[in-house]
Amino acid sequence: MAKKVLGLVLTLFILAGCYIAIPERITTKQPEGQETLQKAEEDTAEQKQEDHTVFDLSIASIGDSLTKGVGDETEKGGYTSFLLDRLEEAEGIDKIEFTHYGKRGLSTEGLLGKLENNTLTPVIENADIIIITIGGNDVMNIAKENYRSLKMEQFTDGIEEYEKNLHAIIRAAREINPDADLYFVGLYNPWRQWFADIKEFGRIMELWNENTGQTVGLYDDVYFVEISPLFEEGDDNLIFEEDYFHPNTKGYQLMGEAVYEAIQENSLPEE
């Protein structure tokens, strides 16, 4: 029965379109050896201040409709606008440059093609950080192709091709920009709030997220940003009510926070 409902619901969504002070020198007479210790402490403080350099940061965001910001009622660009707000507050960052390519309906195969044919070269070639949202349309494409007789096995089988494409995407991005940190944003279950009793939805996203995390974990300086829990905790509606698929502004805000925390942990110098 769950499989029939799964097929019916997915069919409906497909049709919908789916950023030290140096202490003053104490002039009173110090015990023997104390002056040397104080001077060493001052030199250390001065060195820390010199080492804390201001830097510029270049970020490229590429991928599907989540990169485009579909569903953000403010029309400010989705998660990237909230990420920019947090980065502007971070210590040490002077200038932040964002380059951007988001295409609605883009799959891993489509993204790979745009990397291989140099469409995305101007976007990512000078970036310090590349953020990628991809995979949701791979799941939806399986649903479109099999909507008359959807089975869990079709989604588990589709992971093999998805994983192959992920490896190729990482290699292609590295060919263009070998030095950037790569961040892959995970998938979420957009239907949990309305169809919590149909466990297959959540299990599909869980399996694909597990695969993404394992795949990117094989590479240096490539990271997985888990966002699924953000859409599973609490009672707030995080889905755009005009399509019941994309995040709304609040959903994108939480996504931006998750991406910022990952970047802060892995790519920014310690404060």
Confidence class of residue 111 from pLDDT cuts 50, 70 and 90? very high
pLDDT at 43: 52
| Arithmetic mean of pLDDT over the chain | 83
pLDDT at 245: 83
Is a pLDDT exceeding 60 seen at residue 41? no
pLDDT at 191: 72
69: CB partners within 8 A, 6+ apart: 75, 76, 77, 78, 79, 80, 81, 102, 252
pLDDT at 1: 44
pLDDT at 26: 31
List the single range of 123-127, 159-163, 188-192, 265-269 with lowest mean pLDDT: 188-192
pLDDT at 130: 98
| Cβ proximity of 244 and 13 under 8 Å | yes
Is a pLDDT exceeding 50 seen at residue 155? yes
